[in-house]
Amino acid sequence: MKLPSLLLCLGLCSLSPGAGAWSNHSVGSYLALRDLPALREAPEVAVESLEQFVSEQYPGLVALLDEQENFARKHFPDYPPRPDNLRLAPQPGADLRRDLLMALRVNPQIHLAQVIQPMPGEDLAGRPQLKATEVMVEQTLSPWNRQRFIQLQSGQTVAPLAVLATAADEPDYGHDINLFSDNPGAVGALYGFGVQSFGDARFQYSSQAPFHMGFFHESAVVYVAAPFLLRNWPDWRAYQYFGLARFAFANGHPYWGYRFLGWGMHYLQDLTQPYHATTLPGDDLISMLLMEGKALAGYDSDKRAAIERVATRHNEVERYQFAWLRHLLLTGADNPMLTAYADATQDADYPAYSTDYLRQVVSAQADAQAVAFDEAIGQWLTTPGATQSFSAGNQLPAERYDHARLNEQLVQLLRHFGAHSRNYVRAGLDRPAPAQ
């Protein structure tokens, strides 16, 4: 059976250079979190460098990362143990930043710029800005996002929501790029993740796919035929950063508490996108096997068509959603999509946040909606003008965003995006009662 080749080429080519889950995490996070009292009422926090944080808390970080590693080896299926030589040394070295990033197995070339992203339309007059190339590694620059980055200085105070929402976008700036042994660069041979389990090898951006996609709810037959699909770790990344956030808050570093919490929230938000939680939305096991059988017999037209379908639907729906959202924000229009982000009526319907929340709740919900979502996208793409090119203003020309079936799906999914983001943040900000 050659099902692995089908899944590798077919389902996972959908992650193209510019495709992420909901395009810009900062905008969605602002909308989802701005009414949380714990953020709205929190005092501004002072910006500090990562080096300062690590220097002041080094012994505690050594203990925390050791504790996390021991837990991960026992808890996360198919977790590749961290090589012992990447452990934080008992005594700090000369390059604290690099040592921490390598102990976390993050790309050490990320910029970690001190910035905040403003909302679309926000006036930036007189505020210093950084270029995207100063914030993101080259491979992650998006062809359609128009991020603006306000530069911050150490010691400057800033609203917690701005730190958290900005940080939610950061893992797409290169954190998980080129970490596998067959990727370019030096760290892949050191990190212990082995060869890249899936993604489109044509694009460096997609080397992050196994950290931003989680296929936890496929048929057992699929896992037998394609065991590489089990090698994905967004839930582990969320666990790492959640623990770091709690540690930073507990030890008097709220800036890094909010920033780490935003990093972890990113992976949860990724899994609210069905194309990040389901290998092949719209194709059942039987159809996949039939396509692969025909391809092996020399008739691969169905397979090639499926590749194109999945890639197109993933990319185009993200473009549509981001352009629609930007249009609403710039025009001040009232719309159910904006309301969906902030709708907290279902927040308490979900279990309390735990390490398994991403796997058991978030991705399960996205997977369950994948077929309906895929069908709605397919219907939309058959309408005239659905795939027009973006204008210079990052909007689809003459698009009225009145596709009822697709919009209904998007509103549902973004309601999940908001609810899960708030539940993650509430858990991260929850302070244990002091001992009596």
pLDDT tops 60 at residue 294: yes
User: Which residues lie closer than 8 Å to 215 by C-beta, 6 or more apart?
Assistant: 229, 230, 232, 277, 278, 279
- CB of 413 within 8 A of CB of 373? yes
Q: Is 434 within the bounds of a domain?
A: no
Give the phi and the psi of residue 300 in degrees, each rounded to 5. Answer: -105, 15
Parent domain of 17: 3-428
Q: Is 400 within the bounds of a domain?
A: yes
Cα angle vertex 112, ends 111, 114, to 5°?
120
What's the mean pLDDT in 323-334? 88
Q: Is 193 within the bounds of a domain?
A: yes
pLDDT tops 60 at residue 402: yes
Q: Is 415 within the bounds of a domain?
A: yes
8-18 per-position pLDDT tens digit: 444 444 444 44
Who wins on pLDDT, 220 or 130? 130
**How far apart are the two ends of the chain, measured CA to CA in Å?**
62
Q: How far apart are CA 416 and CA 90, in angstroms?
A: 42
Q: How far apart are CA 256 and CA 262, in angstroms?
A: 10
Q: Is 433 within the bounds of a domain?
A: no
Q: Is 264 within the bounds of a domain?
A: yes
29-49 per-position pLDDT tens digit: 999 999 999 999 999 999 999
Q: Is 53 within the bounds of a domain?
A: yes
The count of domains in the chain is 1
The token pair that represents 270 in the structure block = 């990724």
Calculate the dihedral angle through the C-alpha atoms of 182, 186, 191, 196, rounding to the nearest 10 degrees: -20
Q: How many CB atoms lie within 10 A of CB 52?
A: 15
62-119 per-position pLDDT tens digit: 999 999 999 999 999 999 999 999 999 999 999 999 999 999 999 999 999 999 999 8
Q: Is 72 within the bounds of a domain?
A: yes
What's the pTM? Answer: 0.91
Q: How far apart are CA 57 and CA 316, in angstroms?
A: 45
